[in-house]
Homo-oligomer: A and B are copies of this chain.
């Protein structure tokens, strides 16, 4: 097919008319499909039901390390869980605290703590006239929601296939001591699905921040979430920061939300001992300890990193066909739009990122909704929900099954085409 770009007005209009009929048919099907959130499907969750049996009433609730998981205490988690989560992040286990059921509250608490009490003795952010965060875009809406809530000014940082634009990051961090942090999803990023290159990780580790309380907020959410046997490799940021003489510059987060149960996993934070000691000071007032029984349940079931990896291969077998259904449909159906739209082809994670013709993303999402396909709101992948180009759309191909995924992708493609044609006609 001819590229839309070189079609005449008449050709565009004829195609649009035809596609609009297809859209009316699609709406008639009364679909209800959800690709809005990175939500595991029931089939994935089913694979983890063995967790419930791994810790039953006949199992000794006291860990090999001698902790009664049922009672109070052990603020930083049971050592067995520290080891499991450390191995998953590739961090030394003494640098790891294990928390409750999700990593989002740990990130929130880390920001909240800095806001109220400062970082390792620095001025609390609530006492400063201005605090800024760098936000690689497109990024994770829930990160941006936290910083927005605390009144932190967010600055967009463009990304390419290797990670954030490090020249720009270096410049901001070096020149402005109001810049206190940067949000990163370094592996299978949300939503682009890219993994930061070794050079990018090393550039992060070598930052020379003007602010002593500048930290990299490294959300390693998809550390073991490969779709293919050969996964992306991410350099260990904690080790790199140590090597570069910046041992305290990073807080790393991870969880089993997309390994075991999304509502009932375990989560962890890795950082320098100095940072963790600081965290512990207020954490000891906030809680007596997180749910050690659930920590132990995970240890009993997965045993070690190999156990997690073999479990994740089962996830991949469920997820891969869904990603491929979407990408196959895009490859086939977006003919004529190749040089006008773009999409990522991730080898892991939970998302595909789609860049539509600028000025059409909101429209595409609205049309999809009309035809029964719910997508993440356009703009959600940018701070303040504002995509300056109105172009990026996050696609989450996890929750529906493969057939539904295919149908949803077809509707999506149809809406992309219609919105693109209308835009092109508008501009003729």
Contacts and interface: CB of A to CB of B under 8 A. Distances in A.
Contacts of A101: 100, 290-291
A55 interface: yes
Interface string A260-287: 0111100000000000000000100111
A358 interface: no
| Most interface-central of A70, A116, A286 (chain B CB within 10 A) | A70
B57 A70 contact: no
Interface string A43-64: 0010011101101110101000
A293 B48 CA distance: 13
Number of copies: 2
Given A150-B116, A288-B102, A42 B56 contact: no
A14 B39 CA distance: 76
Contacts of A100: 100-101, 290-291
Contacts of A70: 45, 48, 261-264
A359 to B, nearest CB: 29
A282 B68 contact: no
A102 B101 CA distance: 13
Interface in A102-147: 102, 104-105, 108-109, 112, 115-117, 126, 142, 145-146
5 contacts: A52-B293, A69-B263, A142-B285, A142-B288, A146-B286
A217 to B, nearest CB: 15
Nearest to A281: B149
A9 to B, nearest CB: 46
B293 A264 contact: yes
Interface in A59-110: 59, 61, 68-74, 100-102, 104-105, 108-109
Interface in A149-189: 149-150
A72 B53 CA distance: 21
A40 interface: yes
Nearest to A112: B112
Interface string A355-366: 000000000000
A289 interface: yes
